[in-house]
A and B are shown apart, each in its own frame.
Chain A
Amino acid sequence: MTRKRRRLVVVLLSVGILGLAAALVLNAFEDSLVFFHSPSDLVEKPVPPGRTFRLGGLVEEGSYVKQGVDISFNVTDLAESIPVKYRGLVPDLFREGQGVVAEGQFDENGTFVASNVLAKHDENYMPPEVAESLKEAGHWQEQAGDE
């Protein structure tokens, strides 16, 4: 009985200590574990022009302009907004009001020049008719806008 009790304590302690160590490591490396930075992050910790990173947020409503393969839009987190320029094709899910992650760097004017644009899907799934009736009933923002 005592040997079993001792093994139980050793296993629980080891897993507990490992968990603590993992938590500390992950906490310390938080900045490199995030996949993208939001516009508000960039106001807090500005990134110098020429350094490559990923910028993520929503495509601002009314900001999407397309001229041939040259497109521009604003990435917003509803607090801050950053203008983005991109040359190329965008994924199917790319649209205004939807999540987006752009990889690239700032130019001297503070415009984010993207070399790659990915669409980010949110956690809401529904048939088109339901989306339509939600919009009509005016419940749309609380459904989709809690990002």
Chain B
Amino acid sequence: MAIDLHRYANPARFLRIMGAIFPWVAISTAVLLIAGLYLGLFVSPEDYQQGDTVRIMFIHVPAAWMALSIYTMMAISSAVGLIWKHPVADLSAKAAAPIGACFTFLALVTGALWGQPMWGTYWVWDARLTSVLILFFLYLGYMAIWESFDDPSKAAKAAAILVLVGVINIPIIKFSVDWWNTLHQPASVATMDGPKIHSSILIPLLVMAAAYMSLFMSLFIVRVKSEILARRLRLLQMNKLQE
């Protein structure tokens, strides 16, 4: 029993902190999402080349940023879970995965919808698009591994190894547009000589990025809470069977 208490201690504190943050991130999601969509769809000017099609970027670019950030966060959590066996770490990565997969899917779909009128094609197999598609499959593979093991600790280990192998893909996605000729344009915001987007278009983009971040935090807190509670339930049931 003493061991169990020790195992519960950290997740309980984690849940308390998450519970305290939750109302704030939920409110900021609503506020930022409404502000970002309003600024992006109605206030910001059209682009000198793309016209109104530029507005797809407000949905697309922050989604792609989230796809990369969430995967990186999952890789760090998985490494912590693998090395220090921290009980919350594996569950954090597990809770984040479907949210990351959705953002990746959103980035792929909105990118295709932008590509058709601008490039003249929905899809090409250039280095950027292909590496993001691989990222999407890594998310799906990660989720499939969790489903395919009966023993959660084995699933956690196998899933963590997949995420860490796939983390190689993250710098490849980020720098694909610099290392190789791609149809996808190079980075506009995170560049060495400052953003190449006019402030009237950049500000809605950053508000949308903040909105997505809050949305992720809100969904993540709900999901990680239910993962921790489900694990506690499983442990209690196992203890009961042993009695």
Where the two chains meet, the residues of A that have a C-beta atom closer than 8 Å to any C-beta of B are 4, 7-8, 11, 14-15, 18-19, 22, 26, 30, 33-38, 56, 90-94, 98, 101, 117-132
> For the complex, what is the distance from the CA of A117 to the CA of B124, rounded to whole Å?
12
Q: In whole angstroms, what is the CA distance A117 to B121 when docked?
A: 10
Which residue of the partner chain B has the closest CB to A5? B83
Does B21 belong to the interface (CB within 8 Å)?
no
B121 pairs with A128, CB closer than 8 A? no
Q: Is the CB of A118 within 8 A of B201?
A: no
Q: A33-B180, A35-B124 are in contact. Are A126 and B117 (CB under 8 A)?
A: no
Are B118 and A121 neighbours in the complex by a CB distance under 8 Å? yes
The contact string, 1 if C-beta is below 8 Å from chain A, for chain B 43-66, is 001111110001001000000000
A33 contacts which chain B residues (CB < 8 A)?
Answer: 127, 180
Helix, strand, loop or mixed for chain B's interface?
loop
Q: Are A92 and B47 in contact (CB under 8 A)?
A: no
Interface residues of B, Cβ cutoff 8 Å to A: 45-50, 54, 57, 79, 82-84, 117-121, 124-127, 164-165, 167-168, 172, 179-183, 185-188, 191, 196-198, 200-202
Q: Which residues of B contact A14 (CB under 8 A)?
A: 164
Residues of chain B within 8 A of A127, CB atoms compared: 45-48, 198, 200-201
A36:B83 contact, CB within 8 angstroms:
no
- B152 → A minimal CB distance (Å): 19
- Pairwise interchain contact B83-A4, C-beta atoms closer than 8 A: yes
Q: Which residues of A contact B164 (CB under 8 A)?
A: 11, 14-15
Contact check, A125 vs B196: say whether CB atoms are below 8 A apart.
yes
Residues of A within 8 A of B126 (CB): 35
Question: Which A residues are in CB contact (< 8 Å) with B118?
Answer: 91-93, 119, 121
Contact between B119 and A120, CB atoms less than 8 A apart: yes
Report B-chain residues with C-beta under 8 Å of the C-beta of A129. Answer: 45
**When the two chains form their complex, are residues B50 and A118 in contact, meaning their CB atoms are under 8 A apart?**
no
| B-side contacts of A118, CB under 8 Å | 119-121, 124, 183
Task: Decide: B168 and A19 in contact? CB cutoff 8 A.
Answer: yes
Q: A91-B118, A98-B49 are in contact. Are A26 and B181 (CB under 8 A)?
A: no
A92 contacts which chain B residues (CB < 8 A)?
117-118, 120
Known: A19-B168, A118-B124, A123-B196. A131 touches B119 (CB 8 A): no
A15→B78 CA distance, assembly (Å): 13
Identify 5 residue pairs between A and B in the complex whose beta-carbon atoms are under 8 Å apart, listed by A's number.
A35-B182, A36-B183, A98-B49, A126-B47, A127-B48
State A140–B7 Cα separation when bound (angstroms). 62
Is there an interface contact between A130 and B50, defined as CB atoms closer than 8 Å?
no
List of 9 A-B pairs having minimum Cβ-Cβ separation, nearest first: A91-B120, A127-B45, A131-B48, A126-B198, A35-B126, A125-B197, A123-B188, A128-B48, A34-B181
B181 lies within 8 A of A38 (CB): yes
With both chains docked as a complex, state the minimum distance between the C-beta of A8 and any C-beta of chain B, in angstroms: 5
Docked complex Cα distance between A138 and B183 (Å)? 28
Q: Which residue of A lies closest to B168 (CB)?
A: A22
B120→A90 contact, CB < 8 A: yes
Assess the B168–A125 pair: CB atoms within 8 A.
no
A126 touches B197 (CB 8 A): yes
Most chain A beta carbons < 10 A, residue from B84, B124, B126, B183: B183
CA distance A33 to B188 in the complex (A): 22
Q: List, in ascending order, chain A residues with CB within 8 A of B54's CB.
A: 125
